[in-house]
Amino acid sequence: MTKVFSASESDAAVKVTSLSKKFPNGTLAVDNVSFVVPRGQVVAVLGLSGSGKSTLMRTLNGLHAPTSGSAQVLGTDISKTSSKELRTLRRQVGFIFQQFGLVGRMTCIENVLTGALGSLRGPRLGVRMYPVALRREALSHLERVGLLEQAFQRADTLSGGQMQRVAIARSLMQHPKVLLADEPVASLDPESSTQILELIASLAREENMTVLCSLHQVELAKGWSDRIIGLRSGQIVLDAMSQAISMETVMALYKNDGKDEPSQNMQSSQKLDQMA
């Protein structure tokens, strides 16, 4: 625990050095990537499907183990942690998923409460097994995302945008210092997308959170983030402050040079997964 906040790295929330991730099937999803994110910065990660955005985000939270290189999040090196240290770190890192990751049969408040599991001992089933103070806190987070009325409604009765807001409320239970969002608005309509991104941005300002968010919407990303990191075939091909770069530079990321055919397959198989 002493290593977690060493003085020299206190201003870097995320520090990635020559990070690579190769999957057992041979795909090199992240290829020698390095960058540093200072505290409080809001970063948009852009790139085609299959460019390694998801893998990068998931590696930062220890959902994938890196093949080589290192990734320090809040001073803890992901590649060298025991599972206990990893759990300690995860408590401080929120993660928002494209598919929300809610249990549809559970009420919103119960889904939000699962965000506190990292700081609790032992398994919990049902709202009544959580301390009243945590329940109150869960309600206040639901109020913050505008869903207090729906607290005792089942999660599967909500719309996609509402589900994502519940997922954000769940992350707030962790009081995260870093928020990783993996395409949080990819399955939402344009209006909900804007709402969700605005919510994330305002939370980041209020709580001084560091945000890494992968996105597809270039225009949204440019107006919304402090900084843009562009990935292509697992490598960083663009890293600049959002105000400083032109739309064309960002759009170039999405030009298909024909090399990315496997990623097209990935896309269609992902679609099938979603339909199934």
Partner 1 sequence: MNIETEKIRTVPAISRIDIQKFVFVVVSVLGFIWAWNYLDMSVLSFFDDLSNVANLFKRMYPPDFSGMQRIINAMLETLWMALLGTALAAVLSYPLALGAAKNTTPHPYVRYLCRSLITLTRAVPELILAAIFVVAFNPGPFAGVLAIGLHSIGMIGRLFADAIELGNESPREAILAVGSTRRQTTRSAIIPQALPSMIATVLYRLEINIRGSSVLGLVGAGGIGIIVSESLESIQYKPALAAVSVLFVVIVCVELASTAIRGSLLGDAANFGRQTRQGFFTRRATMRNQRLNEKAARTRAVTPPWTSERLFRVGLGASFGFLVVVAIFSVDINWWQAVLDTPRINIVLKQLFPPSFGGERSGIFKGILESFAMAVVAAVLGISLALPISVAISRNINKSAFLAKVYRLLVLALRAVPELIVAVIFVSAMGLGPVPGTLALTTTVIFFSAKLFGDAFEEVNSAPREAVSSVGASRAQEFVSTVIPQFIPSFISTSFYLLDVYFRSSTILGIVGGGGIGYLLIQSIRVYQFDVTATIVISVFLMVLVIEWVGNWVRGLYR
Q: Which residues bind partner 1 (CB under 8 A)?
A: 61, 63, 86-91, 93-95, 97, 99-103, 105-107, 109, 114-120, 122-125, 127-128, 132, 135-136, 139-140, 143, 148, 152, 167, 170-171, 173-174, 265, 268-269, 272
Shortest separation between residue 211's beta carbon and partner 1, angstroms: 15
Q: Which is nearer to partner 1, 66 or 115 (CB)?
A: 115
Q: Which is nearer to partner 1, 74 or 228 (CB)?
A: 74
Shortest separation between residue 188's beta carbon and partner 1, angstroms: 15
Q: Please report the sign of the dihedral spanned by the C-alpha atoms of residue 147, residue 54, residue 269, residue 190.
A: positive
Shortest separation between residue 158's beta carbon and partner 1, angstroms: 14
Shortest separation between residue 2's beta carbon and partner 1, angstroms: 19
Shortest separation between residue 276's beta carbon and partner 1, angstroms: 9
The first and second tokens of residue 76, run together, are 């803890």
Shortest separation between residue 100's beta carbon and partner 1, angstroms: 7
Give the integer Cα–Cα distance in Å for 251 and 114.
39
Q: Which is nearer to partner 1, 4 or 148 (CB)?
A: 148
Pairing relationship of beta strands 28-38 and 12-22 according to DSSP bridges: antiparallel
Q: Which is nearer to partner 1, 18 or 269 (CB)?
A: 269
Taking the alpha carbons at both ends of the chain, their separation in whole angstroms is 43
Q: Which is nearer to partner 1, 128 or 259 (CB)?
A: 128
Residues 6+ apart with CB under 8 A from 120: 130
Give the integer Cα–Cα distance in Å for 242 and 70.
26
Q: Which is nearer to partner 1, 61 or 250 (CB)?
A: 61
Other Cβ atoms closer than 10 A to 211: 25
Give the integer Cα–Cα distance in Å for 226 and 42.
5
Q: Give φ, ψ of 62 to 5 degrees.
A: 75, 10
Give the integer Cα–Cα distance in Å for 263 and 39.
32
3-class secondary structure, 178:
strand
Shortest separation between residue 86's beta carbon and partner 1, angstroms: 8
Q: Are 155 and 137 in contact (CB under 8 A)?
A: no
Q: Which is nearer to partner 1, 133 or 244 (CB)?
A: 133
3-class secondary structure, 31:
strand
